[in-house]
């Protein structure tokens, strides 16, 4: 681009003075935001309920709204997974983004075409999975964490049939240990086939040259995080369509 700029006789340096250009902007935005916040704070009071009472549990008990995505995941996974493992993977997954994304294009400007897959993945993780689960948890969950429409009366006695069964049971396995082994195989197969499918998909859309440049470590990290991310919609699908409670049941962990 430097050559193009020189050809068009544009200055190579597009810098302007911070004072007044940037400082002025910051001042105006800060002023506007502070006024808007003050007006909002004058009109809408922060909630204060009755004094804390450890003996009276409200139904539903909801976490602060920004954690409702995690609470919504508890419907589909056990707390150790939805509350500890997946949040940790979200944070780690976010942190490694700059290291697994080796696309030199799209740095410093908005462009969808140059980095389609990166943006679509972020969109799936952030907008679809994170924001939508927060919206469901905030507006669509009532007593007993049952689904209610926002305009529906919150009936604490709503009857919901408990029809969920474990996947091995659904497949016809009744013995405890055989079921555990089948469950383990299904989970292992999910990851093996998931990572293999991811490999062939990258090979098809990006080519072998890219895979070599990308390297084994980057590929594995991306594949594992990506397959973990897809496990949420996969489990949601199994639950909502086939009433699957767990895939793997053992005395120690259930998935």
Partner 1 sequence: MSLLQKIKNDIVESHVWKSIFRHGYEDTPRNRVMMVTANVFLHLHPAKVRRHAVRMRFTWCMGGLTFLMFLITAVTGVYLMFYYRPVAEYAFADMKYLETDMPFGMLMRNMHRWAAHAMIVFVWLHMFRVFLTGSYKPPREFNWIVGVLLLVLTLLLSFTGYLLPWDQLAIWAVTVGSNMARATPLLGYEGPFAEFVGANPVYDARAFLFGGGEIGPHTLLRFYILHCIFIPLVASILMAVHFWRIRRDGFSGPSL
Sign of the CA dihedral 100, 124, 90, 226? negative
Minimum CB distance to partner 1, residue 180 (Å): 14
Q: Are 88 and 73 in contact (CB under 8 A)?
A: no
- Closest to partner 1 by CB, 6 vs 171, is 6
Q: Which is nearer to partner 1, 106 or 181 (CB)?
A: 106
Smaller CB separation from partner 1, 53 or 163: 53
Region at 159 (left for phi over 0; alpha for psi -120 to 50; beta for the rest): beta
Tokens 């030199």 -> residue? 104
Contact 168, 238 (CB under 8 A): no
Minimum gap (Å) between residue 79 Cβ and partner 1:
3
Q: How far apart are CA 154 and CA 72, in angstroms?
A: 18
Using the minimum distance from each CB to partner 1, give the nearer residue, 18 or 164: 18
At 244 the three-state DSSP class reads strand
Provide, rounded to whole angstroms, the least separation between the CB of residue 26 and partner 1: 6
Distance in angstroms (rounded) separating the CA atoms of residues 222 and 100: 7
User: What is the DSSP code (8-state) at residue 87?
Assistant: H
Supply 240's token pair: 């909502």
Q: Are 115 and 106 in contact (CB under 8 A)?
A: yes
Q: How many residues does the chain have?
A: 255
Distance CA 212, CA 72 (A): 39
Least distance (Å) from partner 1 to the CB of residue 139? 16
Of residues 42 and 241, the one with the C-beta less far from partner 1: 42
Q: Which is nearer to partner 1, 200 or 252 (CB)?
A: 252
Distance of closest approach, residue 124 Cβ to partner 1, in angstroms: 13
Q: Let me know: does 234 contact 197? Beta carbons within 8 Å.
A: no
Nearer to partner 1, 116 or 197 (CB): 116
Structural contact between residues 219 and 199, judged by C-beta atoms closer than 8 angstroms: yes
CB of 14 to partner 1, least distance (A): 5
Shortest distance in whole angstroms from residue 214 CB to partner 1? 15
């Amino acid at each position: 681009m430097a050559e193009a700029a020189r050809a068009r006789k544009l200055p190579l340096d597009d810098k302007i003075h911070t004072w007044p250009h940037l400082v002025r902007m910051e001042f105006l935005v800060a002023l506007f935001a502070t006024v808007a916040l003050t007006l909002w704070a004058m009109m809408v009071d922060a909630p204060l309920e009755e004094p804390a009472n450890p003996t009276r549990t409200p139904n539903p008990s909801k976490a602060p709204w920004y954690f409702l995505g995690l609470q919504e995941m508890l419907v589909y996974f056990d707390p150790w997974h939805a509350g500890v493992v997946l949040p940790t993977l979200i944070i780690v997954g976010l942190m490694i983004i700059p290291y697994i994304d080796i696309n030199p294009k799209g740095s410093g400007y908005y462009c969808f075409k140059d980095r389609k897959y990166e943006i679509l993945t972020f969109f799936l993780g952030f907008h679809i999975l994170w924001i939508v689960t927060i919206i469901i948890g905030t507006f669509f969950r009532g007593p007993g964490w049952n689904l209610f429409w926002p305009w529906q009366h919150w009936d604490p006695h709503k009857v919901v049939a408990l029809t969920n069964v474990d996947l091995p049971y659904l497949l016809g396995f009744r013995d405890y240990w055989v079921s555990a082994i089948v469950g383990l195989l299904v989970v292992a197969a999910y990851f093996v086939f998931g990572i293999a499918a991811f490999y062939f998909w990258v090979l098809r859309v990006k080519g072998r040259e890219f895979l070599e440049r990308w390297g084994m470590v980057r590929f594995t990290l991306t594949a594992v995080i990506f397959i973990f991310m897809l496990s949420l919609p996969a489990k949601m699908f199994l639950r909502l369509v086939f009433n699957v409670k767990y895939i793997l049941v053992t005395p120690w962990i259930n998935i």
